[in-house]
Amino acid sequence: MLEKQSIHVPEGLRAAINKAYRADELSLITELCEKAAIEPYQRTAIRANAMKLVESVRAERKKSTGIDSFLTEYALSSDEGIALMCLAEALLRVPDNATIDNLIKDKLAGGDWKSHRGQSDSFFVNATTWALMLTGKVLTPEKAENTLTKALMKLVNRSSEAVVRTAVDKAMRIMSKQFVMGRTINEALTRAKKKESKGYRYSYDMLGEAALTSVDAIRYFEAYKKAIESIGQQADKNSNLYKRAGISIKLSAIHPRYNESQYERVMEELPPRLLALSRLAKEYGIALTIDAEESERLDLSLDVIEKVFNDESLDGWDGFGLAVQSYQKRAFYVLDWVAALARSKNRRIMVRLIKGAYWDSEIKKSQMQGFSEYPVFTRKVFTDVSFQACAKKILTMTDAIYPQFATHNAYSVAMILNLVGDYRDFEFQCLHGMGNELYEQIVPADCFGIPCRIYAPVGSHEDLLPYLVRRLLENGANSSFVNRIVDDNAPITDLVEDPITKAKSLFNSMNKNIPLPEHLFLPARMNSKGVDFTNRHERALLQQELAKLNLNQWSAGPLVAGKTTFDNQQTVTSPQQPSRVVGSVQNSTLDDVEKALAQAELTFPVWSSIPVEERAACINRFADLLQANMMEFLSLACLEAGKTWNDGVAEVREAVDFCRYYAHMAQQLMASPTKLHGYTGELNELSLHPRGTILCISPWNFPLAIFTGQVVAGLVTGNCVIAKPAEQTPLIAAYAVKLMHQAGIPAGAIQLLPGAGETIGAALVSDKRIKAVLFTGSTDTANLINRTLATRGGEIIPLIAETGGQNAMLVDSSALLEQVVVDAVVSAFGSAGQRCSALRVLFVQEEVYPRTIELLKGAMAELVVGDPRWLATDIGPVIDKDALAILTNHVENMKKRYEILYQCKLSDECESGYFMPPTAIAIDNIDALEKEVFGPVLHVIQFKRKNLDQVINQINKTGFGLTLGIHSRINETVEYIRKRIHAGNCYVNRNMIGAVVGLQPFGGEGLSGTGPKAGGPNYLVRLCHERTYTVDTTAAGGNASLMSLPEDI
């Protein structure tokens, strides 16, 4: 299981790299401080030299024409800076004028552009400011200085929005030019000659983010080929290889599935592409450097690099290089591996030592995934220490490594200058448009005469924008050296502080602003732990454990008062392989129902009288057991429910989060009465009390998470629970209840009754001893339960029903389409579309519809549909043959009236299971869908922007109101849509699945459910009686507390 071949535990130098992946930060930085240590006299010299560099940079600042001066003028903490970020990211890609106008109005109307005019001597800043000031004035006439100006502005507003458009477009293109070297490689090569004559070198990067489709990957590959040819043709063949211009390559740009889960495919397809580019670079006598990307891709990149580097056709070529990110905890150990690889072939490898550009996303991903530690340092100063330690190590490996130190930090530059002494076989590197003033103190022959290679992006302005924004984020933050070096208010002494001294002062202190992922929700609760499938050591151990569990035969039956009988069992099979028996189930009888109800009645007085703190402790112990039994539940989720590994991990984590969240909330709500403030002389309190026996009916699509959420909510509030799991997934539920009993929850407080809804479910719902019903499933079944409760007589009891939805995502033309498609694919097809929250209808503005469909088809073509036992599988089976038949019939009926945009092909391994190929269908109106289609089928509708209200009405008219997705860069548009569409959960510029307990309480309205939301603060209250207690505290004669109040307050 997990992989078709055995995963080998990393050994040797790779084991050292792996060990540092998510190492304890303080332990690791203590070690790196020792490795980075230099003599006191060196620190003094470095500090003095760094101060001179900063002073020189500030003196030269007025000559600046680059991004440095821009960052000074428009700090990212200002409204104008934020507006520019948003505008730069979106404007140039928007195809229609109406959306452009709305985007400009949304981002620039509130900016005080006039205050920036003339504040800088840089033409770049002033040109940008003048254009934006014009726009700002046009859009905000109320701020005009006099009536005449106001009148003129109104005239411009009336006469032509094109004036605004032209001005802002011009401003954005001025901004773009500061980052991009040229729109084509030849344009960039021509522009580079001026700097090259001064001693600078270049490494060109063909702009573009990760390839989403195979077509994208081929296009980027061809662009790299042409660039290598162009660079090589203009290279000076008489100069040293390292003096020539080179090229930088992103591996994610030349393969659409460049990630660890697709290891076999990547290792078959990517090395030949990289080898072809490397051979071409060798042929033309230029260098090629592999860009560093996200930390989760490091191991994969090293395998690709090793395979290519060892190819005999590259023997004798010292032009192969890679970037090493010093903010990664593994950087120091990667260098040993690189040097060993180079020496094994008697060659040199170029190492571009950088700080790193994905820090914010690395932190967020680790938090979201519940990993044990971060792969990067949480403090900037720790990264600086790592950079220094790595630099020292590289300079001891110059036989194997050609050093390239990429930094805009004056202290780092001064440190390198000190370490190298008279050694000169190395270079500095900087980003195009940044660090100009700093390196003017380094490169000229009359200074240090040390070359600096400029990393120069090449491509269209549209391709530039994501890159532009990432660089602005990286270097525009207030703590960034690039920002502070040109800020006269930042003391020079702070800028040249020794990182080791500062780091040592923080040895006993974690960054409180960035707690460890598992501590994210403290003090309320611990975060659930995830599984890092990119950690090969961890994955190898997982494979061994899962292989053992694969042999298990599981069983389930009615658990009444802790006892189970097995006399008429039925087999439970796997949806991906119906011939595979996973275990057996004994379905409940009506006699079991009666016994369970009677036992619950007996247990309720005892369980409800236990203090809430003790009940919460039981639930927290159960959460710990869920976490400890992660492997068992992953195996069951895969084999019984057909879930992929990532879906299985998310399921267990959600169950754990439900436990800990509800345990915390119950104590907040029930530990003591709430005192209600009011009249003097009177006590008023509100308290919550258990209802009795609660029935929980859970679905097969989340057989552990939803099952657990319902059950523990009932238990922690002091109720007894009878749980009826879905007929398709009783084994997971039975194992969970077993652990609940192990956690100390009485056998009579939680009982399990597997069986058919028509018999067992119906008998329980109609019994008056049931005091509340929690149900997740179809709208039809929820209505049936509601009618039964209404007609059974007796007290009126709560029904919490969470049902389906005709969930839509709206995309306007300001959206980043690559992001839209990634989010749409995971929202519509993830979990085989078997989520209540899954995307069913994608509305796309007509101007971007063709490109969206092109990307959607390409992304769908990359999906792996198959056996969920393999990590490479993206989409597993649907739950059973009935579900498959319904979905197949729906698509066949749609074919008669509408176009099938794309349908994934199924492999041979899908023949025996219940596999539905992900399908995209173009329709003209949401009315074409008579009911929810619960599976991997996406319906796509194009719309005109002017008809947005019609789209909103279409969606509301369905009566459903569960999830909504919006992709737009225009805040006003987002607000307009979300205020008008009736949806319980609204997601903006992201996918629309995977609601997190406590952060995104989940539940809908209308046909989608009753509320309150699961995983939210109001859920537990619905499971309790509310009681008010009022006492006249003056009844014994007089209000002593009032009479004794001091008079001087």
Report the b/e string of 599-608 with b at 16+ CB within 10 A: bbeebbeebb
pLDDT of residue 604: 98
Dump pLDDT digits (tens) for 287-313.
999 999 999 999 999 999 999 999 999
Is 70 exceeded by the pLDDT of residue 139?
A: no
Contact (CB, 8 A) for 250 and 210:
yes
pLDDT of residue 484: 64
Dump pLDDT digits (tens) for 749-794.
999 999 999 999 999 999 999 999 999 999 999 999 999 999 998 9
Q: pTM of the entire structure?
A: 0.92
Dump pLDDT digits (tens) for 665-712.
999 999 999 999 999 899 999 999 999 999 999 999 999 999 999 999
Q: Has 802 been annotated as catalytic? A: yes
Is 60 exceeded by the pLDDT of residue 119?
A: no
Residue at token pair 């790592």: 386
159-168, 212-221, 717-726, 804-813: range with lowest mean pLDDT: 159-168
Beta pairing, strands 200-206 & 246-249? parallel
Is 90 exceeded by the pLDDT of residue 858?
A: yes
Beta pairing, strands 808-811 & 963-967? parallel
Amino acid at 374: Y
Q: Has 430 been annotated as catalytic? A: no
Length, in residues, of the chain: 1049
- 145 — pLDDT class (breaks 50, 70, 90): very low
Is 70 exceeded by the pLDDT of residue 329?
A: yes
Neighbours of 432 (CB within 10 A): 27
894 token code pair: 């749609």
- 72 — pLDDT class (breaks 50, 70, 90): low
- 28 — pLDDT class (breaks 50, 70, 90): very high
Is 80 exceeded by the pLDDT of residue 195?
A: yes
pLDDT of residue 179: 75
pLDDT of residue 555: 96
Mean pLDDT of the 466-493 span: 60
pLDDT of residue 6: 75
Q: What is the rounded CA–CA span in Å between residue 540 and residue 532? A: 11
Q: What is the mean pLDDT of the chain?
A: 90
Is 70 exceeded by the pLDDT of residue 574?
A: yes
Residue 328: HSE in the Cβ half-sphere, 13 Å Cα cutoff: 28
Dump pLDDT digits (tens) for 881-910.
999 999 999 999 999 999 999 999 999 999
Dump pLDDT digits (tens) for 601-647.
999 999 999 999 999 999 999 999 999 999 999 999 999 999 999 99
- 237 — pLDDT class (breaks 50, 70, 90): confident
Q: Which DSSP state fits 830?
A: G
pLDDT of residue 465: 61
Is 80 exceeded by the pLDDT of residue 132?
A: no
Dump pLDDT digits (tens) for 341-391.
999 999 999 999 999 988 888 999 999 999 999 999 999 999 999 999 999
Burial label, 906 (beta-carbon count in 10 A; 0-12, 13-18, 19+): middle
Three-state SS at 104: helix
Residue at token pair 């995209």: 920
pLDDT of residue 158: 42
Mean pLDDT of the 468-482 span: 53
Neighbours of 675 (CB within 10 A): 10
Per annotation, catalytic residue among 802, 847, 862, 932: 802
Is 80 exceeded by the pLDDT of residue 532?
A: yes
Mean pLDDT of the 421-434 span: 93
pLDDT of residue 129: 45
pLDDT of residue 467: 60
Is 50 exceeded by the pLDDT of residue 94?
A: yes
pLDDT of residue 133: 40
Q: Which DSSP state fits 757?
A: I
Per annotation, catalytic residue among 836, 904, 910, 1024: 836
- Domains of the chain in start order, with CATH, are 20-59+185-458 (3.20.20.220), 67-177 (no CATH), 556-803+1022-1026 (3.40.605.10), 808-1008 (3.40.309.10)
Burial label, 423 (beta-carbon count in 10 A; 0-12, 13-18, 19+): exposed
pLDDT of residue 138: 35
16-20, 121-125, 723-727, 760-764: range with lowest mean pLDDT: 121-125
pLDDT of residue 472: 59
272-276, 467-471, 850-854: range with lowest mean pLDDT: 467-471
Q: By percentage, how much of the chain surpasses pLDDT 70? A: 88
Three-state SS at 902: strand
Mean pLDDT of the 648-656 span: 98
Three-state SS at 900: strand
- 68 — pLDDT class (breaks 50, 70, 90): low
Contact (CB, 8 A) for 829 and 815:
no
pLDDT of residue 127: 43
- 434 — pLDDT class (breaks 50, 70, 90): confident
54-63, 183-192, 473-482: range with lowest mean pLDDT: 473-482
